[in-house]
Amino acid sequence: MLELRNITKRFGDVLANDHVNIKVKPGTIHSIVGENGAGKSTAMRIAYGFYTPDSGEILVDGEVREIRTPHDAIALGIGMVHQHFMLVEPMTVAENIVLGAEPGTTAALDLNKAASEIRALSDEFKLAVDPHATIETLSVGQQQRVELLKALYRHARILILDEPTAVLTPQEVEEFFAILRRMREQGKTVVIITHKLSEVLAISDEVTVMRDGRVVGELKTSDTNAAELARLMVGRDVLLRVEKPEAKAGETVLRVQNMVVAVADGTRRVNDVSFEVRAGEIVGVAGVEGNGQTELIESLAGLTAQSRVSGKVDFAGRDITNMSARDRKELGIAHVPEDRHRRGLLLDFDLAENSILGIHYRQPAVTGLGGILLDEKGIERRARQVIKDFDVRPPNPDLPARALSGGNQQKLIIGREFELNPKLLLVSQPTRGVDIGAIEFIHRKLVALRDAGCAVLLVSAELEEVTALADRLLVIYHGQIVGEVDPKQTSNEEIGLLMTGGKKQ
């Protein structure tokens, strides 16, 4: 159905694809896996006309095709859903789907006709999307369905999905896989770019493994396993489970009492929450996204400009309820945000500049009388230390942050915060969009920080991750803590029941 033959692509000095050969059979779900920066997204963007190859051929239906733009790809029946959705939030589902393929005439746009076609497609594939809903009112999972509809509306026979489950909850992943299976049954061909091995094994028929811009494995999914795929991806054996000794919890570092966080319209996103985190332990927060986790962590970090906070927050015996984010950082509170682009990095700044965000006003970032001058050498030393200790690639402090893959951007943020030797770490979605080798690395670093006596409050949408790392687990639902469980003694089904408000514990 789709074949890349000897595809080579360079970006400056970086060889992103090195004579890549990939064959995708019709009517199958084909996974392409690899670490961040392995070249898998580049290869598929070439198939979609987003990039043009330096050399090599693209074949569709067994014939060599000239694909120079996405328009060429769409005309051949190829659609692509990107990792970061390309939707206009104030517009409706129907308006987003027809952008660039508007029905009717220039003088009279026939949105009613489009809406009826979209509804028919939605019903056919059981996508349950309202064509008249505005994008900003939809959940992330629903927005992804809109992206699928956008491709189907343009008669895509081949769907390329880039990290399609990166922002979905476990429940949404199951629903999404059911949709993909229905598409396969109806003759569609699906290519999934991912790094989640459990999902590869659950959904795909065949898998291509890439490493350092090359294809290093082509396997039938039924003939392989997670350990073999991880070894091919990383080039070594990878520990697929978190190994950690028993926690040696010490004094209470963070005490939250009756915390309420209300947003501009008065809605309580966090509602009367109380809990403690002690030195030397990881306390996890599990919940379906959108149940107050974001507001909880950002309020504890002092990022409260858009909300009102009441209750009491005590850090190491000191009331910090009304303290600024900078003052909290000075006391020893570090924060790894869930959205690395919006909260964690300045993408056009270089790695050295990003490595001092949050401490840019003090040593080692400044020098001179009163600390008013940037210490360029001190900044570079710190950046090189973070890059070395946290294996940020490429290891060049002069590169802009946007030049890094998502996993390496995450390692830069985590390294920057860990190097502060915090007493309390607030960490959200530490491995979102991160490949398996980096996940193992980040998990080890989190456990090491805990064992060094840091108190860690961890939020993750990955239930497997939060249960593996946490010593105690809080479950949040509609802004309230509805249960505290021992992750070693509690099943995922029981936690899932708490996450959906099934019961309190």
State the total domains in the chain: 3
Other CB atoms within 10 Å distance of the CB of residue 225: 11
Backbone phi and psi for residue 311, each to the nearest 5 degrees, phi listed first: 100, -160
Same domain, 266 and 207: no
Mean pLDDT confidence for 462-478: 92
Same domain, 215 and 248: no
Q: pLDDT-derived band of residue 124, with 50, 70 and 90 as boundaries? A: confident
C-alpha span between 184 and 179 (Å, rounded): 9
pLDDT at 385 over 80: yes
Which burial class, exposed, middle or buried, applies to 64 when counting CB atoms under 10 A from its CB (0-12, 13-18, 19+)? exposed
Same domain, 176 and 244: no
pLDDT at 367 over 80: yes
Q: How many CA atoms lie within 13 A of 282 on its CB side?
A: 29
Q: Which residues pair with 219 in a beta bridge?
A: 207
Which two tokens mark 283?
């306390």
Mean pLDDT confidence for 81-101: 85
> Quick one: residue 328, left, alpha or beta (phi over 0 = left, psi -120 to 50 = alpha)?
alpha
pTM above 0.75, yes or no: no
- What rounded mean pLDDT belongs to the chain? 90
Give tens-digit pLDDT for 161-209: 988 886 676 667 888 899 899 999 999 999 999 878 888 999 999 999 9
Same domain, 264 and 120: no
Sheet holding 78-81, edge to edge: 78-81, 158-162, 189-194, 29-33, 206-211, 214-220
Residue bearing the bigger pLDDT, 237 or 58: 58
C-alpha span between 438 and 42 (Å, rounded): 20
The H helix count followed by the E strand count for the chain is 16, 22
C-alpha span between 214 and 16 (Å, rounded): 9
Answer whether 147's CB lies under 8 Å from 81's CB. Answer: yes
Q: pLDDT-derived band of residue 409, with 50, 70 and 90 as boundaries? A: very high
Give tens-digit pLDDT for 135-171: 888 877 788 888 888 888 888 899 999 888 866 766 6
Same domain, 429 and 414: no
Whole-number percent of the chain with pLDDT over 70? 97
Question: Which of these three, 388, 421, 454, is where a domain ends?
Answer: 421
Residue bearing the bigger pLDDT, 493 or 310: 310
Same domain, 88 and 21: yes
Same domain, 20 and 79: yes
Q: Give the model's pLDDT for residue 53.
A: 95
Residues 6+ apart with CB under 8 A from 61: 1
C-alpha span between 368 and 37 (Å, rounded): 40
Dihedral sign (CA 398, 400, 401, 405): negative
Give tens-digit pLDDT for 30-79: 999 988 778 998 999 999 999 999 999 999 999 999 999 999 999 999 99
Same domain, 349 and 393: yes
**CATH number of the domain that residue 127 is part of:** 3.40.50.300
Same domain, 255 and 312: yes
Q: How many CA atoms lie within 13 A of 126 on its CB side?
A: 10
pLDDT at 105 over 70: no
Q: Give the model's pLDDT for residue 496.
A: 81
Residue bearing the bigger pLDDT, 493 or 382: 382
C-alpha span between 50 and 68 (Å, rounded): 8
DSSP string, 36-84: TTSSHHHHHHHHTTSS--SEEEEEETTEEE---SHHHHHHTTEEEE-SS
Residue bearing the bigger pLDDT, 110 or 382: 382
- For the chain, the 3-state helix, strand and coil shares in percent, each to the nearest 5, are 35, 25, 40
pLDDT at 462 over 90: no
Give tens-digit pLDDT for 266-278: 889 999 999 999 9
Question: Which of these three, 216, 234, 252, is where a domain ends?
Answer: 234
Mean pLDDT confidence for 221-230: 93
Same domain, 220 and 132: yes
Q: Give the model's pLDDT for residue 194.
A: 85
Give ∠ CA 317-319-323 in degrees, rounded to 5.
Answer: 135
Closest to 175 (Cα-Cα) out of 186, 164, 185: 164
Question: Which of these three, 377, 405, 421, is where a domain ends?
Answer: 421
What range does the domain containing 411 cover?
A: 341-421
Q: Give the model's pLDDT for residue 504.
A: 64
> Quick one: residue 492, left, alpha or beta (phi over 0 = left, psi -120 to 50 = alpha)?
alpha
Same domain, 377 and 504: no
Answer whether 176's CB lies under 8 Å from 165's CB. Answer: yes
Same domain, 171 and 307: no
C-alpha span between 140 and 18 (Å, rounded): 34
pLDDT at 370 over 80: no
pLDDT at 85 over 90: no
